Chain A
Amino acid sequence: MKELALNSNEKTTQKQYMNLAKVNRRMTARLLINNVVKYLFFASTMFGLVILAFLMYQIFSDGLGWLSMDFLTNRLSTLPERAGIIGAITGTVWLMFIVGPVTMVLGIGTAIYLEEYAKKGKFHSFIQTNITNLAGVPSIVFGLLGLTIFVRMFGFGPSIIAGGLTMALLVLPIVVVASQEAIRAVPSYLREASYGMGATKWQTIKNIVLPASIAGILTGVILALSRAIGETAPLVAIGIPALIVPIPSSITDNFTVLPMQIYYWTIDSVLVDEYASMAAATIIVLLAVLFLMNSVAIIIRNKFQKRY
């Protein structure tokens, strides 16, 4: 070991050997740095986890007491003992029914066009760059876009259809990029075999490419949906009312969603102390829904991924 260290420190001029004491000193220092760095990285990993654990502890100790069947099935109210989140849950489900289909049609359509039809050139890379940039646009900007176009220009008001379309635009890049990656991962020999059998491009896409990439695409759609149901800023921008009691029953109804409820209750906790616990309980519900959706995404990915 010492011999090795000696050799590695050897300079070009043969005579300048280091003495043993110096080598040992360097060795200790190097090993020390190695350890310091190791614990530094460990600490960075733990930092996030500890904060998360602390947050979870706070939320669960605060909110678990409020979670009950009544809380889940009651309508919204200003009185804590009467209040529940069925309206927000229903609103969240409605939102998914708009965001899901819209992003699937537009997102997968875009991905198929870009991957299968479009010629790779300036126009293609222009679109590609824009989609990537779109994924980085702050969500509040999409909210203002939704307010101008869907709420005001189309006259939808702060309804499910307006909120859903705004959220669909927000998460569209996620679906496009995920679908593109899934389609790109389909081996080219499958396509070539299909063409070899005389199939047209559309027949190849329909019968070969889409079935082979559906797992990746669905994973992207589910992750996009979970982003959409956790977002607050765009809905604040389109003007969701703070008190909305009836359960929405059509896409033109005004609505509220779980994160909006969390937002309003947290801010209003200066007025009524119980609102803080009710916000925590709603966070638990939202976390449970997101956890479930992300698990489904992981299961789909693992189950269908290695088919080729």
Chain B
Amino acid sequence: MKKYLVALSIAALTVFTAACGSDDNSADAGELSGSVSIDGSGTVYPLMSRIADEFMTIEDVSVEVGRAGTSAGMQKYVVGETDFSNASRPIKDEEVAELDANEIESKEFKVALDGLTLVINPENDWATELTEEEVKTMFVTGNIKDDDKVLWSDIRPEWPAEEINFYGPNENHGTYEFFVDVIIEKQDLVAGINLQQEYSTLVSLVSDDKNGIAFFGFGYYVNNDDKLKAVSIDFGNGPVAPSLETIGEDGPYANFTRPVFTNLNLDAAKEKPQVKAFAEYIFSTGAADFAGETGFAPLPDEELAEALEFVQNLK
């Protein structure tokens, strides 16, 4: 019985390996082969995975895209484990120092533009417009009330006297860093704000909470506009709703817009033709074609052309 089982499993293993091996050789479309490994920001993931998906229909290359988060992705990138590292914030000085220490040549590229969007429950029919100043005030601790139990009526007297419930992504997210560093200028967030790891959790929390308000990337709003309502922001020239047009470079929503990045390991791009080819594909076709579909505004053509030229000249 035992011998029989051993023989059987060896036979199965052989057949299986053979089957997989032959499958691998048959697909011989392009000249390129091998793999490209990408990790990093969860915000950039939808765009980068869409580009990778399309690239793989053209070339016989395996592009593996992870989304451990901007900082977690960087930890892998600085020791050379990945070829690209997506980021929803600029690279930090200590990360640059680590790259230098490991003698890795790296360059940061903008990939697309993301509009920070404030979302409320569809039943909330009052706070559909907020001024930039109101946003900057209401999310900071102690600004309105000492105990941070802020009512809608504290912001505008005609609104209901019900307590606001604040939500947002947690410290692992580049979106959090952007909101705290840029929008509320490094002041402390209101006490009791509910910070979450997953955007899916934020979507379901606000869609169930009439008094909820949350912030995250535009892409996560457009795919859920049946469950959430986006707040129009008044930057001084009347309220502007976030949309692919308004969040673009120099658009009326630009104050709440930020670029998202990818970092490219230049040594990998020089050594591995498939890495260089994928980088070229991002800036020649991918970033422009798939930004809108995944909820980003495309970068201006000149910026993409510049990036493409840089990559093409890598030797």
- Identify the A interface with B (CB < 8 A): 77-79, 82, 90, 93, 97, 100-101, 157, 210-211, 214, 239-250, 254, 266-273
New contact pairs (10) apart from A249-B20, A254-B62, A270-B199, CB-CB < 8 Å = A97-B16, A210-B2, A239-B39, A241-B65, A242-B49, A243-B49, A245-B56, A250-B17, A254-B64, A266-B200
Question: Least Cβ distance of B5 to chain A in Å?
Answer: 8
A243 touching B52, Cβ below 8 Å:
yes
A267 touching B62, Cβ below 8 Å:
no
5 A-B contacts (beta carbon < 8 Å): A82-B53, A243-B65, A245-B56, A245-B63, A249-B23
Q: B67 touches which one: A100, A242, A254 (CB < 8 A)?
A: A242
Q: CA–CA, A266 to B201, complex, Å? A: 11
Question: Least Cβ distance of B307 to chain A in Å?
Answer: 22
Question: Least Cβ distance of B308 to chain A in Å?
Answer: 23
- Identify the B interface with A (CB < 8 A): 1-2, 9, 13, 16-17, 20-21, 23-24, 35, 37-39, 45-46, 49-50, 52-53, 56, 62-68, 76, 81, 198-200, 203, 219-220, 223-224, 294
Q: CA–CA, A254 to B45, complex, Å? A: 18
A249 touching B21, Cβ below 8 Å:
yes
Question: Least Cβ distance of A140 to chain B in Å?
Answer: 14
Q: Whose C-beta in chain A lies nearest to the C-beta of B65?
A: A243
Report whether over half of chain A's contact residues are helix, strand or loop; otherwise say mixed: loop
Q: CA–CA, A249 to B223, complex, Å? A: 36
A101 touching B198, Cβ below 8 Å:
no
B2 touching A211, Cβ below 8 Å:
yes
Q: A247 touches which one: B20, B38, B49, B81 (CB < 8 A)?
A: B20
Question: Least Cβ distance of A74 to chain B in Å?
Answer: 12
Q: Hey, which chain B residues are within 8 Å of A269, CB to CB?
A: 200
Q: Hey, which chain A residues are within 8 Å of B199, CB to CB?
A: 270
B63 touching A271, Cβ below 8 Å:
no
Q: Hey, which chain B residues are within 8 Å of A266, CB to CB?
A: 200
Q: A248 touches which one: B20, B49, B63, B65 (CB < 8 A)?
A: B20
Q: Hey, which chain A residues are within 8 Å of B37, CB to CB?
A: 241, 254
Q: CA–CA, A77 to B54, complex, Å? A: 9
B203 touching A245, Cβ below 8 Å:
no
A241 touching B200, Cβ below 8 Å:
no
Q: Hey, which chain A residues are within 8 Å of B220, CB to CB?
A: 270-271
Q: Hey, which chain A residues are within 8 Å of B52, CB to CB?
A: 243, 245
Q: Hey, which chain A residues are within 8 Å of B49, CB to CB?
A: 78, 242-243
Q: CA–CA, A157 to B16, complex, Å? A: 23
* Given A79-B53, A93-B16: A243 touches B21 (CB 8 Å cut-off): no
Report the 5 A-B pairs with minimum CB-CB distance, sorted nearest first.
Answer: A243-B65, A241-B66, A241-B64, A249-B20, A270-B200
